[in-house]
A and B are shown apart, each in its own frame.
Chain A
Amino acid sequence: MAEYDLTPGMAPNLDRHLVFPLLEFLQERQLYDDDLILKAKIDLLNNTNMVDYAMDIHKSLYHTEDVPADMVERRAEVVARLKSLEEGAAPLVAFLQNAAAVQELRADKQYNLQMLNDRYQIGPAQIEALYQYAKFQFECGNYSGAADYLYQYRALCTNSERSLSALWGKLAAEILMQNWDIALEELNRLKEIIDSKSFSSPLNQVQSRIWLMHWSLFIFFNHDNGRTQIIDLFNQDKYLNAIQTSAPHLLRYLATAFIVNKRRRPQFKDFIKVIQQEQHSYKDPITEFLACVYVNYDFDGAQKKMRECEEVILNDPFLGKRVEESNFSTVPLRDEFLENARLFIFETYCRIHQRIDMGVLAEKLNLNYEEAERWIVNLIRSSKLDAKIDSQTGTVIMEPNHPNVYEQLIDHTKALNGRTYKLVSQLLEHAQAQVAR
């Protein structure tokens, strides 16, 4: 199933640190050779400051106790740099840790800077040092510290570019700490900035959006409300265009979100078109499933794809999230997906059929006969389906639903009456007004 793994496509759009959870997941799923993943991890860590972790991985990869000299050197270097940065940022950190002093800060940035400068001798250099320190902390893997410092930094920073990268850093830190609510807030803040800011080139803006969408996957598939929000975000024209041009693999997540969503959305039709159009650049079982149901009306194919979808979901780090309940784990999204996909098939199937054999239907829905019958009965009871079951022949019979021609005609002309009436009254009013004048 490695062919549907998106990690290689996703990784370039993520922060180094954000790739770790993905690699962990892959390791767990045993999709790739363990050694390969460990190597990838070391490569990742090479440019971060998490040297100790890298050493551990190195040991487990090569089964030795020796650590390469450059790693040891790098460790010393990192520690030294940490020290120097700490010193640089020390005054400000001390100030920030003093709760009483922090009370003095106000909403006015200018005032704060002035105040810090006058009373604590904290100038721009120290504030800059704070940023560097926070960044370093983040690279060392101390996300909570980094998040705190970045938050403080943003309150003091005047450079909008810097502020933006601090926001990215904060978002990454919150995601890695799994504070989904805060992360969502940060995400929205970042989105606003990206949409409103004027970028030097449209390409940069698109790139920022792509990043934002990739990062947001962590949040949306963990947050309770994420599945509706992912549609809200991804399906905006600007973001959809970005997906289509640069990151079509994100269609998988959008498609899944559409399928899983309870409410059918008006945008769904358009989305189907997008999928159809992007078939040449990206397809996986999930998008193919939609194509089968809504483009080709190939229900056997859809059923086959549904089974593949299950695999894909289980192997996707975002979709295949496990929930541990007592002693067995489930993948909640898979169950929801299958249920809804079944509904999709059935719905379309019913629209074009007059009479359906229950056995065939059960097969198409990946259910056994009894289950299928119960399922249909439930649908009929909840008046989602206008049909009846003929248990003698074992078929479902749809109620024909054709509007009467006369009704249609009346509908068409009904409005005309009112309009004409209004027109006449208006004319009369006008005429009277003229007479009066």
Chain B
Amino acid sequence: MASRFWTQGGSDSEEEESDYDEEVETTVGESASQAVTSRYLQDNASDSDDSDGQKRVVRSAKDKRFEEMASTVDQMKNAMKINDWVSLQESFDKINKQLEKVMRVTESEKAPNLYIKALVMLEDFLAQALANKDAKKKMSSSNAKALNSMKQKLKKNNKQYEEMINKCRENPESEEEKEEEESEEEYESDDEIIEPEQLRRREAKSDSEASQYEDEKADDGEGPWDQKLSKKDRLLDRQFMKDPSEITWDTVNKKFKEVVAARGRKGTGRFEQVEQLTFLTKVAKTPAQKLEILFSVVSAQFDVNPGLNGHMPINVWKKCVQNMLIILDILVHYPNIVVDDSVEPDENESQKGLEYNGPIRVWGNLVAFLERIDVEYFKSLQCIDPHTRDYVVRLKDEPMFLVLAQNVQEYLERVGNFKAASKVALRRVELIYYKPQEVYDAMRKLSELTEDGDNGGEASEESKGFEESRIPTAFVVTPEVVARKPTFPENSRVLMDVLVSLIYKYGDERTKARAMLCDIYHHALLDEFPIARDLLLMSHLQDSVQHLDISTQILFNRAMSQLGLCAFRVGLISEAHGCLSELYSGGRVKELLAQGVSQSRYHEKTPEQERLERRRQMPYHMHINLELLEAVHLVSAMLLEVPNMAANVHDAKRKVISKTFRRLLEVSDKQTFTGPPDNVRDHVMAATRVLCKGDFQKAFDTIVSLDVWRFVKNRDTVLEMLKDKIKEEALRTYLFTFSSSYESLSLDQLTKFFDLSVSRTHSIVSRMMINEELHASWDQPTGCIVFQDVEHSRLQALAFQLTEKLSILAESNERATEARVGGGGLDLPPRRRDGQDYAAAAAAGSGAASSGGRWQDLSHSQSRQSSGRAGYGGGRSMVLGQAAGSGYSRGRGTGSGYRSARHQDASYGGSGRIAQGGSALRGPQSDVSTRMVSLKGVRS
């Protein structure tokens, strides 16, 4: 049939010609590749370098190539005359190489006559030489060898040109047409490289083959369209359009297989493939087939964007979502179709039509597709400039995805695949968790408003598309069973609860961890600090998060910072500081939250790292306001540190709550001139300076003048709370600083000073007395605070420090001896434990003001890290002092590490953390090193 087609007549080749003109370049490549393969077949020694070099040849060299070939033929003739097989063999190779070039420049598919003639000549000569056995015997060994190899090569080579050669023998001029056909068939059998044009041809050809099946029932009338078919797919498509009744499952399946087989090959037009497949969905015969093809459409759509960095074009994305919805329509409509990716289904599974009742298995993975769609959406938001309109428009597509996810989840739940459903639920959670109620409401309204319009538009568009292609309806009509509109509950919390509880029930570890973090984030967003905190503590995520993947770690950081903001809003200053201090300890907040790439002077990043980091970035609309975060962190650090510094004037280094804050304060103190505050940091520093003097009003004004507060929910109450806290801390600072200057102080005066209510002042002062921060007592009848002169003088305080250092020295001595002697007689461990107990008791005593048991667990594990760092700091300073790494100096280093850790514990008021202090004592360095590694894990 095929050859019949090719021999049909001149019109045919004309068309061929015009086709070539259209796509000169592709054809060039194509013929080159063809030649390569033929050469490969000839001498089994393809050389990629050669083909590379040949690409440089341009069309103008056509004649030159022919000349070269002719000269080679002459050389061959000479060699034949002297019966020199060695040079003949060389010439043969040469001519084959030249053949490629010639073929390329002439842009023809058939070997030139010159070549064929040479072949004929060679063949004859070979036969003659073989026949002449005497001459063969006379030949030199190298010559005989060459003869033998020549014989084989020629045999192989000539097979390809057999027909042409025969023709040439019969009639040296008339073989053109057929040869073309021959060569074509040859390269079709070779699948190595397929150029677009060639591919189409393949399709066309096999399609005509396919139509051969039809021939059995249909008459031969399709000849004419068969021809056109070979030109372009459109024509093929038209074929389907023309005779809908004649299209069988086989036809479609065949075509489908072909298109799919071409996927991923070099030169396959990605858009075209999508188009072809989309067309096929319209002519699919059975729902299962349509489904099968739709799956391929979706994956082809994913292929449209090849790179990892770019995102899928938005219109393709939308179509992809639509396709997924249609898939769901089919699945819901025909419940007997099962989607599965574990088993390779039977070839003809999709042949089973409507009336088939048993389960039909179709290969596919809904969840993977859905996740990919989500990833693409996320990527597109990463790539689009957030300050453009595009970004907003893109954001409006979110409901579209949500409806899809919702439907997929519902479907999976109905099918009973809860594990997969939980994965889908996580995707939904991750789109919702960061939305405050207002944003959520806006989204809900938007989805209600626009979905109608969108749907209408989409439908009409589609029908237009149908008209264009002149197909009245698709064969398998799928009614829109699945909802096209998302249904959102009134409250985002309700939705979160539903989704999250599903995940907790069925999800795997990672899914659960992520869902938990989203849950925490969302609770924190709604100011439900206790719930969020309990969730965090009960999940023990802060212990295990370092073993999770980076994006989950980022999510954890986000949740922690949101928790910190939440704690601040509800007035839990120390908790807020606890949540945020770690984030700010490294100075890489941006990086930790994936909200921008921070430049570090000391770590040059490789491009690879940078790329990875860029891929992890959060889209703009999910960002946590960094200025606000910094303001909250510094203000809470200020509220904790200012009275703390006032309380420990004698050795300010001892009890440091926030190292970051101290460092900033030092820097700002060093400045000779302090200008008016400019950024968040300056504001807080300015406020700190006045607060140290007890001037709460000025401090508050300075803080309030920050304009980031407008990002805070219910700003007024928060600022009210802040003012209250500032007053309180100002009062405490004042008492710490000036208590030694007073003999007694009346309550009335204090309340007037600090604008606090009497009962509150009383309560604050009482707490300070109970905690023995303030050595004073009330004189109830007069309402005065009477100060007792028990404040240690400088000498006394130093003496206490000395004793403390002495005991540390003694302890390290003991440890050193223990190491030497072998720990026999010394009962060190119990004593050490005693010390820890003492520290614990002290901590518990001073910790009444701080939070309670379970919360300590949180700060416990947080400060395991922070105490590790503190230990490191201490250890380093000591080791600097005595560089020798002997056991003794290490002992000291660890001792001081221990001490600083302990003090930190005491200042936080944790009891459970002492054990951690102990572990820091044992190996601060190693602790730190793991810490650094984990941080590196976050950054790289």
Contact = CB atoms under 8 A, between A and B. Distances in A.
Interface string B412-449: 00000000000000000000000000000000000000
Contacts of B770: 297, 348, 351-352
Contacts of B852: 270, 272-277
Given A272-B848, A297-B767, A405-B796, A353 B777 contact: yes
Given A405-B792, A426-B825, A430-B821, A295 B778 contact: no
B781 A395 contact: yes
A360 interface: yes
B6 to A, nearest CB: 74
A353 B800 CA distance: 27
A419 interface: yes
Interface of B: 530, 534, 538, 759, 762-763, 766-767, 769-770, 775, 777-781, 786, 788, 790, 792, 796, 799-800, 803-804, 806-807, 810, 813-814, 817, 820-821, 825-826, 844, 847-848, 851-855, 911
Contacts, number: 115
A182 interface: no
A300 interface: yes
A244 B814 contact: no
A357 B781 CA distance: 6
Interface in A401-431: 402, 405, 408-409, 412-413, 415-416, 419-420, 422-423, 426-427, 429-430
Given A272-B848, A402-B775, A420-B810, A298 B759 contact: yes
A413 B806 contact: yes
A273 B851 contact: yes
Interface of A: 244-245, 269-270, 272-277, 280-281, 294-298, 300, 348, 351-357, 360, 393, 395, 398, 400, 402, 405, 408-409, 412-413, 415-416, 419-420, 422-423, 426-427, 429-430
Nearest to B803: A412
Nearest to B775: A402
B842 to A, nearest CB: 12
A355 B800 contact: no
B804 A402 contact: no
B846 to A, nearest CB: 11
Nearest to A413: B803
A327 B212 CA distance: 112
Contact of A416 (B779, B786, B807, B851): B807
9 contacts: A274-B852, A294-B848, A298-B759, A353-B778, A355-B781, A360-B780, A398-B777, A402-B788, A422-B826
B910 to A, nearest CB: 11
Q: Which of A296, A298, A352, A402 has the most CB of B within 10 A?
A: A352
Contacts of A273: 847-848, 851-853
Contact of B763 (A298, A409, A423): A298
B853 A357 contact: no
B551 to A, nearest CB: 28
A419 B826 CA distance: 10
Nearest to B769: A352
B766 A423 contact: no
Contacts of B821: 426-427, 430
A216 B458 CA distance: 66
List 10 A-B pairs, minimum CB-CB distance, nearest first: A273-B852, A277-B852, A297-B766, A412-B803, A354-B777, A352-B769, A280-B530, A356-B780, A353-B778, A357-B781
Contacts of B762: 297-298
B817 A427 contact: yes
Contact of B817 (A275, A300, A426): A426
A398 B780 CA distance: 11
Contacts of A412: 800, 803-804, 807
Contacts of B759: 298, 300
A409 B799 contact: yes
A296 B767 CA distance: 7
Residue among B538, B781, B825 with the most chain A CB within 10 A? Answer: B781
B796 A352 contact: no
A387 to B, nearest CB: 12
Contacts of A280: 530
Nearest to A240: B853
Given A274-B853, A277-B854, A405-B792, A269 B781 contact: no
Contacts of B848: 269, 272-273, 294-295
Contacts of B855: 277
B530 A355 contact: no
Contacts of B806: 413, 416
Contacts of B799: 409
Contact of A355 (B779, B792, B804, B810): B779
B528 to A, nearest CB: 9
A433 to B, nearest CB: 9
Contacts of B788: 400, 402
Nearest to A353: B778
Contacts of A405: 790, 792, 796
Contacts of B530: 280-281
B702 to A, nearest CB: 29
A343 to B, nearest CB: 17
Given A274-B853, A357-B780, A409-B803, A269 B844 contact: yes
Contacts of B825: 422, 426, 429
A236 to B, nearest CB: 13
A402 B777 CA distance: 12
Nearest to B804: A412
A354 B780 CA distance: 7
B790 A277 contact: no
B399 to A, nearest CB: 35
Given A355-B780, A420-B813, A427-B821, 19 more contacts: A275-B852, A277-B852, A300-B759, A351-B769, A351-B770, A352-B769, A353-B780, A354-B779, A357-B780, A402-B790, A409-B796, A413-B803, A415-B807, A416-B803, A416-B806, A423-B810, A426-B817, A427-B817, A430-B821
Nearest to A433: B821
Contacts of A244: 854
Contacts of A274: 852-854
B790 A297 contact: no
A273 B821 CA distance: 45
B127 to A, nearest CB: 87
Contacts of A409: 796, 799-800, 803
Nearest to B782: A355
Nearest to B766: A297
A363 B248 CA distance: 99
Contacts of B847: 273
B931 to A, nearest CB: 29
Contacts of A398: 777
Nearest to B807: A416
A356 B744 CA distance: 16
A423 B814 contact: yes
A353 B786 CA distance: 9
Nearest to A298: B763
Contacts of B810: 416, 419-420, 423
A270 B777 CA distance: 25
A409 B801 CA distance: 10
Nearest to A354: B777
B804 A297 contact: no
Contacts of B854: 244, 274, 277
Contacts of B769: 351-352
B576 to A, nearest CB: 16
A354 B817 contact: no
A258 B768 CA distance: 25
A408 B801 CA distance: 12
A354 B778 contact: yes
Contacts of A422: 825-826
Nearest to B796: A405
A272 B853 CA distance: 9
A295 B847 CA distance: 11
A277 B817 contact: no
A356 B775 CA distance: 18
A393 B770 CA distance: 26
B786 A354 contact: yes
